[in-house]
């Protein structure tokens, strides 16, 4: 499914972070801001009262008085431009964690977030309780290679304590020129001992889709975030694999630690695995915010069983895909409850270099469920576990073939290895990625059940 550029650029799903250390979206082609917006102080899900539709002159006088006091009495001089910018920023920040004022620099960062190219560390960061918490490190970036994990907290940046009063400044420190070095003092989740991590910034060109075989007949699809080219990349890579190896018996779609991205990309990816049904609906106060997206014929996997891996880092656009595939009974979800970011943002330009990114709608899964602050519960819960191989002495006798003078199997293949039953490979996968190993086992069961299905009598 493809969308007009203006729609693609204007509709974003709020990612679970204040500023992303990832790759942001062109906003220049966003629609003109509506002229009939209701007053901003009216809460979206509360009926507007007549009194609330009038601007209180006392509020204006109070604002003007505070403005003058700060300008005249603050310990250091503050310019009018800076004060007005901070006032606008504060007004939007008071609405929710995802609405914000964008200047030229903010628009450039937004463009990076949706195109997948920027210079930095490769981390998604959330402002929480005055600190910086890692939502997820992005695959194959300096942060992921250094061992940064979801839920970690950034305590210091280059030896300087994170300042809750200057979060924007802290975010800016994370980015920099390629090759420049930075030291993050990280507190791992569940630990009391901060550790220093020495990282080197890189040009991050995020490939949002990776496709490979887990084993013959079973494919693995990893989507790290939803960018403008994600659906086209998925279609190209998966079609090439199907053309080479044939339609798989089943596939695992890995959306763990996927922070989201573009709504339109999530709709297109969902459509790639569905032949029919609703994908997502959005509802807001403005007529343009009320939309419904449906699937079209053309399942890339031709109905082969699908398992979706999710966890607490699966957010926004990734939750749209998870909800669409779950509610349409197209896939089985395995893992942990998702993040619960169920709001849509629209970029409303003010002029060529300034815009407002405003939460304008909630989205709902095909069953009409809002996942805002609730998340999506998996069909099969799976704790975040790891396994290791138990050291044990080798078995001298593990089968009849180890006994002296045993009778040979008359159908045995010459030089065959009866121990090559796949268990060693399964054990390696389990120790590397326990959740993926479990997903593959479930997928095999689904494939067997599908193969054993008996056609209904006519």
Q: Which residues are catalytic?
A: 316, 327, 341
Give the span between the Cα atoms of 249 and 447, in whole angstroms. 6
Beta bridge partners of 161: 156
* 223 closest CA partner among 281, 308, 293, 142: 308
Provide the CB-side half-sphere exposure for 342 (13 A, CA): 22
């Amino acid at each position: 499914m493809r969308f007009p550029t203006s729609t693609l650029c204007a509709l974003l799903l709020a990612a679970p972070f204040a500023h992303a250390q990832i790759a942001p979206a062109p906003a220049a082609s966003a629609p003109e801001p509506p002229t009939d917006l209701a007053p901003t102080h009216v809460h979206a899900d509360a009926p507007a009262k007549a009194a609330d539709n009038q601007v209180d002159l006392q509020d204006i006088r109070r604002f003007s008085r505070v403005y003058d006091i700060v300008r005249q009495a603050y310990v250091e001089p503050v310019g009018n431009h800076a004060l007005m910018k901070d006032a606008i920023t504060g007004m939007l920040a008071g609405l929710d964690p995802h609405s914000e004022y964008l200047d030229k620099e903010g628009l450039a960062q937004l463009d990076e977030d949706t195109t997948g190219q920027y210079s930095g560390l490769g981390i998604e960061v959330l402002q929480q309780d005055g600190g910086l918490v890692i939502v997820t490190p992005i695959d194959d970036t300096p942060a992921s290679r250094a061992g940064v994990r979801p839920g970690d907290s950034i305590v210091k940046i280059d030896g300087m304590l994170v300042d809750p009063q200057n979060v924007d400044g802290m975010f800016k420190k994370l980015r920099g020129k390629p090759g420049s070095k930075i030291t993050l003092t990280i507190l791992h989740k569940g630990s009391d001992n901060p550790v220093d991590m020495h990282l080197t910034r890189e040009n991050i060109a995020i490939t949002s889709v990776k496709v490979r075989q887990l084993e013959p007949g079973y494919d693995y699809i990893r989507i790290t975030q939803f960018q403008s080219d994600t659906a086209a990349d998925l279609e190209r890579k998966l079609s090439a694999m199907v053309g080479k190896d044939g339609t798989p018996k089943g596939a695992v779609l890995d959306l763990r630690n996927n922070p989201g991205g573009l709504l339109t990309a999530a709709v297109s990816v969902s459509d790639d695995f569905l032949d029919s049904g609703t994908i997502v609906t959005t509802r807001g106060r403005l007529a343009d915010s009320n939309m419904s997206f449906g699937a079209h014929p053309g399942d890339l996997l031709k109905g082969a069983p699908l398992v979706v891996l999710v966890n607490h880092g699966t957010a926004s656009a990734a939750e749209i895909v998870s909800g669409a595939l779950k509610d349409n009974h197209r896939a089985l979800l395995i893992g942990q409850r998702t993040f619960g970011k169920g709001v849509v943002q629209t970029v409303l330009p003010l002029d060529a270099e300034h815009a407002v990114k405003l939460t304008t709608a909630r989205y709902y899964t095909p069953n009409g469920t809002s996942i805002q602050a609730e998340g999506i519960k998996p069909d099969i819960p799976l704790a975040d576990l790891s396994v290791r191989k138990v050291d044990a002495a080798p078995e001298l006798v593990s089968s009849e073939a180890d006994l002296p003078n045993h009778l040979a199997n008359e159908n045995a293949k010459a030089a065959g290895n009866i121990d090559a039953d796949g268990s060693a490979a399964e054990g390696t996968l389990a120790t590397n990625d326990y959740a993926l190993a479990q997903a593959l086992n479930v997928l095999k069961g689904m494939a067997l059940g599908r193969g054993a299905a008996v056609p209904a009598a006519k």
